[in-house]
Amino acid sequence: MQTRRIIESDPWLKTPAGRYVLAWEQQRLDALVADLFGFHALQLGWPALDALRANRMPHRWLQLDQAVDGVILPPDFAPAGMPRAVQVNAEFEALPFPAACLDLVVLAHTLELSSDPHQTLREVERVLVPEGRVVVLGFNPSGLFGLGHRTAAMARRLHRCEQSLPIRGEMIGWRRLRDWLRLLGFEMEQGRFGCFRPPFGTERWLERSAWMEPVGSRWWPVLGGVYTLQAVKRVRGMRLIGTGWKRRPQASGAPAVAVQSRLPQSSPQRSPLHPGAPSIPTDTP
């Protein structure tokens, strides 16, 4: 019998750098998904982020990796007044949803946890409806967090220390991800980099480096620690039809037929006494 337990976030997410990344990503997600409308939304990966809390879709799911057995969500995962996300345990490369049924899919560092990122994106394209949205969060391999991760990986091989970032696969750059999505028929809508402070281990040094946020977003935006990307699924040859009440009603009825009548060659004479009455013809001898 499987043991059920409350899910626990990765130890790195409890560090000052981890809380710093979570705070920026949560604020960014709230702004992105607030105005996306539909009926069905799905979040993949990283349950430490409530990616759909600002969204108003009535049906929401949170899918976790099937490798995590017997995991349940805490009761306060969903905000007050909003429906709680239904938990699903399945592989990211085989989503348990029919084709063209979801309006929004959020990949919260899912590609970095997936064993096959290409197949995961293909599954996302399959389950999204035409004009559906996908939002992707990822670590920037060219940023300070990416450099620190590669340094920690080298130190782990030498000194057997723990991994810094909570990822299992490789980091996917923003341009590389954009090319993958274009091949699948997605159109980019917006993207943004964030977390320009170095991954310090103390709150004190993170606060001291707060000046790097506005400077980095203006002068070296592609060097941010993390990024967000939003794209829309386009289907060629499809034309969206508006609602029926916008159409003008057409007049019903049979068309009128014009009939030409023959007029008499001679009109009857009018009576001088009664101009409105016709005169009575008389026979002359």
pLDDT 10s digits, 167-212: 777 889 889 999 999 999 999 999 999 999 988 878 898 888 889 8
The three-state secondary structure class of 82 is coil
Q: Which residues of 63-77 are buried (b: 16+ CB within 10 A; e: fewer)?
A: bbbeeeeebebeeee
Model pLDDT, residue 236: 79
Which structure tokens are listed for 125? 């394209």
Beta strands in 177-270 (DSSP E): 186-194, 226-233
Q: What is the mean pLDDT of residues 77-81?
A: 44
For 124, phi then psi, to 5°, come to -65, -40
Model pLDDT, residue 160: 40
For 2, phi then psi, to 5°, come to -75, 140
Q: What is the mean pLDDT of residues 10-36?
A: 90
The predicted-structure confidence for 113-135, as pLDDT tens digits, reads as follows 888 999 999 999 999 999 999 99
More confident residue, 86 or 181: 181
d(CA 40, CA 205): 42
Model pLDDT, residue 117: 93
Burial class (CB in 10 A: 0-12, 13-18, 19+), 31: exposed
Model pLDDT, residue 238: 61
Lowest mean pLDDT among 32-36, 251-255, 274-278: 274-278
Which structure tokens are listed for 159? 């000194």
Domains and CATH numbers, the chain: 5-233 (3.40.50.150)
Whether the model clears a pTM of 0.75, i.e. scores above it, the answer is no
